[in-house]
């Protein structure tokens, strides 16, 4: 399952990669992690399709993950679910505004991130068979 990790900060991307490992939970597919440092590259990947889940750094510069998440939800057909990493628990309302599907906060707690991502991966795995049959009927 393709997981895109967006942050301008290589350390943040590395911490996310470590938290995910090969598979964030035993009952989800292996994660194929693609790291992205810029908003234009993220949207190129999303436009190309095949992204199953996004992990977005709300503190990314110059384009923060919250705004990027909202834009993706508005513009990308069948936008993949997004896990947003927020800077402070008080930013939860902004995460709601961004339409993120799950939220964890900095500093990254590996178990919490893996648990949240595994939940989104399960949703995608369960939705995938429906997407295939839907496409076959069109």
What is the span of the domain harbouring residue 38?
Answer: 2-136
CATH value at residue 124: 3.40.50.2300
Rounded Cα gap, residues 87 and 114, in angstroms: 18
How many Cβ atoms are within 10 Å of 78's Cβ, its own excluded?
A: 9
**Residue 8 gets which letter from DSSP?**
S
- Domain total in the chain: 1
Mean pLDDT by 10 residues, the chain (138 residues): 97 97 96 97 95 96 96 95 90 88 94 98 81 38
Tell me the pTM: 0.90
SS3 for 34-61 is: EEECCHHHHHHHHHHCCCCEEEEECCCC
């Amino acid at each position: 399952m393709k997981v895109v990790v967006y942050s301008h900060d290589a350390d943040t991307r590395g911490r996310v990669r470590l938290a995910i490992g090969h598979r964030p939970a035993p009952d989800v597919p292996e994660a194929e992690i693609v790291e992205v440092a810029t908003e234009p590259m993220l949207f190129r990947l999303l436009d190309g399709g095949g992204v199953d889940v996004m992990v977005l750094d709300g503190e990314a510069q110059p384009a923060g993950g919250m705004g990027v998440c909202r834009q993706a939800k508005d513009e990308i057909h069948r936008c993949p679910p997004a896990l947003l990493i927020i800077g402070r628990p008080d930013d939860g309302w902004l995460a709601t505004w961004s339409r993120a599907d799950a939220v964890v906060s900095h500093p990254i707690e590996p178990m919490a991130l893996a648990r949240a991502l595994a939940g989104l991966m399960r949703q995608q795995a369960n939705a995938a068979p429906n997407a295939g049959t839907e496409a076959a009927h069109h």
